[in-house]
Amino acid sequence: MDYSGWSGVGAFAPPVQKRYGGFWLRVVAYFLDAILLVIAQVILMQVVKNEAAAQGVNFLLTWFYFAGLESMAGATLGKMVLGLSVTDEQGNNISFLRATGRYFAKIISALILCIGYIMVAWDGRKQGLHDKIAGTLVVKN
């Protein structure tokens, strides 16, 4: 038998199983994010006196908070605290475009009586509808 090129290291190691971020961890992470965003929004309302302008800036702030952090850092601050990150289905970081799609797909998850979010509780890979649409996973680091 020719064993050339075989190092023997990890040859019989079991495959690494992904640990997905479950429903309750994701709920807590979202509440942490919501607290931070409410604080930012209160400050914003004090700075920007025009309500229409404040709502527009608030929309951009929320979108860039979720899509920006999930694409650049792999997670929002709430997810980071709980050791979660958002990846594509192969475990790679997601682009800003994919993170944006995921963010807006959450509207669909919410519109159907939040069933798109609740799906996380029973889905094998703990994906919500917005994750399935965007091709993302929330994994435990």
**pLDDT over 80 at 1, yes or no:** no
* pLDDT tens digits for range 26-74: 999 999 999 999 999 999 889 988 889 989 999 999 999 999 999 999 9
> Could you give the CA distance from residue 131 to residue 125 in angstroms, rounded to a whole number?
10
pLDDT confidence tier of residue 15, bands split at 50, 70 and 90: low
Ranges of H-type helices in 20-121: 23-47, 51-63, 69-72, 77-81, 96-111, 115-118
H or E element at residue 130: helix 129-134
> Could you give the CA distance from residue 23 to residue 138 in angstroms, rounded to a whole number?
10
The pLDDT of residue 13 is 57
The pLDDT of residue 11 is 54
| Cβ-Cβ contacts under 8 Å for 36 (sequence gap 6 or more) | 65, 77, 78
Smallest Cα–Cα separation from 62: which of 108, 107, 27? Answer: 107
The pLDDT of residue 123 is 97
> Could you give the CA distance from residue 91 to residue 44 in angstroms, rounded to a whole number?
36
For the chain, the straight-line distance linking the first and the last C-alpha, in angstroms and rounded, comes to: 40
CA 12 to chain CA centroid, nearest Å = 33
> Could you give the CA distance from residue 92 to residue 76 in angstroms, rounded to a whole number?
16
- The pTM of this model reads 0.85
